[in-house]
Amino acid sequence: MRRRTLLAFIAVLPLPLPGFPAAAFAHVRPDGLIEPTLRIAPGGDAGPRVALTLDACMGEADHRILDALVANAIPATLFVTGRWLAKNAETLKLLLAHPELFQLENHGAMHVPAVLGAEKLYGIAPAGTLAAVSAEVEGGAKGMAACGIAKPGWYRDATALYSPDALKLIRQMGYRIGGFSLNADFGASLPADKVHERFLTAEDGDVIIGHVNQPKRSSGAGIASGAIALKAKGFRFVRLMDVAELDGWGETNVAKAAPAGIL
């Protein structure tokens, strides 16, 4: 078991939902912010499987990744912001031309953390209030609708950290939370070889996170090569929408880790 997963088990006593083979957990940081963790059910007799999720935060599109996914028929779930969609109309055409590969979900309007207060996270100013969180989520959905994208059912905020009340609000708005279990590129900060290596540590049932909006950074090449190498090892890739075990659930179970009332 990887160290990060082990720490999550120790910190919060993970609680699988009875009757579902998929498991979702959460890590509550010392500052009270919640970092959701999500896994899908193992592949069983059909072989190991993972869900590749890619954030399109702002800026440009990394076609090293997208072209490799298309060429190798590797599906992925993309969390897109409204600001990224507005700048990447041609790339959106490619994504919409391959509905069998790409699932598009909500990453907010402007890439703002769903965190209350004023303290920045990784240099990014938080939403600050619940009203601002709601506006960020709704703005992301409206930006997607304006581009002809189907209504999203999943949400992942900037930094993948949430204030408890903000997380509760987003779930009340009807969204599943886009957690993950394997961080492949740490915000597109790792070099390609390290990203490739992290892909090869994937375990059956992992939900992998990476970034598809940094074409000038080395990490994107590692996502492309890592995904191809993982497929060559016999792993199957699925989108979140393809995993029946998440139907009607897909949320983060933090009942024993979060303040009372979050659920």
- Residues 160 and 177: their CA atoms lie apart, in Å, by 9
pLDDT for residue 17 = 32
What does 162-221 look like in DSSP terms, one character per residue? B-HHHHHHHHHTTPEE---SEESSTTTTS-HHHHHHHHTT--TTBEEEEESS-TTSTHHH
| Cβ contact 206:50 at 8 Å | yes
User: Domain-by-domain residue ranges, the chain?
Assistant: 3-246
Nearest to 66 by CA among 223, 235, 231, 201: 223
Q: Contact at 8 Å (CB) between 23 and 252?
A: no
Please name the amino acid found at residue 120. K
**What's the pLDDT score for residue 32?**
94
Q: Please tell me the predicted confidence (pLDDT) of residue 246.
A: 60
Residues 6+ apart with CB under 8 A from 86: 143
DSSP secondary structure, 6-51, as one string: HHHHHHH---PPTT-S--EEEEE-TTS-EEEEEB----GGG--EEE
Which residues share a beta bridge with 237? Answer: 50
Whole-number pLDDT of residue 115: 98
What superfamily would CATH give domain 3-246? Glycoside hydrolase/deacetylase (3.20.20.370)
The reported pLDDT for the residue numbered 24 is 52
Q: How much is the pLDDT for 109?
A: 98
pLDDT of 44 reads: 87
**Secondary structure (3-state) at 63:** helix
Residue 163: closest CA among 123, 207, 119, 122: 119
Give the number of other CB atoms < 10 A from CB of residue 146.
11
pLDDT at 247: 44
Residue-level pLDDT at 123: 92
Contact 103/74 with Cβ under 8 angstroms? no
- What is the mean pLDDT of each successive set of 10 residues along the chain, which is 263 residues long? 34 32 68 95 94 97 98 98 98 98 98 96 95 98 97 97 97 97 97 98 97 98 98 98 64 35 31
